[in-house]
Amino acid sequence: MAKVITFASQKGGVGKTTSAVHLATAFALGGYKTLLVDLDPQGSVHHSLGTEKNSSLGIREVFCTPEISLQEIITTGKHQNLDLLLSNIQELLTEQTVNKIAQDYYHVSQWIEKNTSDLYEFIIMDAPASTSSLSINAMIAADFIIVPLECETLAIKSLKRFLQAFKVLQITIEPRLRLAGILLTMYDENIISHRQVCKQICKTLGESVFETVIPNCPHILEASNLGIDVIQRHLNSAGATGYIRLANELLDRFLLPKSEKTN
């Protein structure tokens, strides 16, 4: 059964899509069969990876025609081990329909259980910046929820809001929801406030913060504009190294089976 990892946060621009794309790529290159799912109506995964869609089908069908087979709605990624379930819910009426169906918070989780069986080792989900029903679906389907946090001064405030909302979700909807950790992103050690935020978050939250910190890396922005992942484009860049380290930290931290190819 695949391990499902969801990137969630109420705030946009914190690195959810970047992290989902690069963790999925790192796992795929490490030999793990991986499915990357874009649940965000903005559909940024498609732009970041510049994939040719083999059809207009995607996440909409998971909600609107759930009996459709997985093979019909996935797009093959640029790596042998990476499949994509792209977002095709940009259109307002479609988004509204999907949001209505997503009020069943277990919809995605049940669909995954029924349709992906042993096809993947990892399913990585990019959730919209909100606590909408789509994000709740992505969190309920997850074995591990990762909250990316940009190293800037407002970050602590936004994290507090997210943790409060998360507690409410645990109490009112699903007590089994668990955070895997906070991932600090876009860190620049030359900026004093970044160092302060990083120190404060680590002091307050201790082990809930991943040891891996994703550095601010211009190569990430450049690669994303070209529609390619930074691991392929600049393997030795700080961004690529950061996401490969994150993949390894997750494998170690949660004692996940190591791929024979990475051993």
Residues near Mg ion (CB under 5 A) are 16-17, 44
For the chain, the 3-state helix, strand and coil shares in percent, each to the nearest 5, are: 45, 15, 40
Please report where in the chains the tokens 């083999």 appear, as a residue: 54
Q: Choose among Mg ion, ligand ADP, none what residue 181 binds, the Cβ cut-off being 5 to 8 Å by kind.
A: none
**For ligand ADP, what does the binding mask look like between residues 120 and 159, x meaning CB under 6 A?**
---------x------------------------------
Binding of residue 185 to ligand ADP (CB under 6 A):
yes
- Cα distance between residue 155 and residue 243, in whole Å: 21
- Cα distance between residue 36 and residue 180, in whole Å: 18
Q: In what order do the strands lie in the sheet with 82-85?
A: 75-76, 82-85, 34-38, 122-126, 3-7, 144-150, 179-185
- Cα distance between residue 173 and residue 165, in whole Å: 11
Binding of residue 234 to ligand ADP (CB under 6 A):
no
Q: Choose among Mg ion, ligand ADP, none what residue 239 binds, the Cβ cut-off being 5 to 8 Å by kind.
A: ligand ADP
Please report where in the chains the tokens 């025609």 appear, as a residue: 65
Binding of residue 216 to ligand ADP (CB under 6 A):
yes
Least separation in angstroms between CB 150 and Mg ion: 12
Q: Choose among Mg ion, ligand ADP, none what residue 217 binds, the Cβ cut-off being 5 to 8 Å by kind.
A: ligand ADP
Binding of residue 41 to ligand ADP (CB under 6 A):
no
Binding of residue 66 to ligand ADP (CB under 6 A):
no
Among 132, 224, 237, 241, binds ligand ADP (CB under 6 A): 224
- Cα distance between residue 101 and residue 133, in whole Å: 9
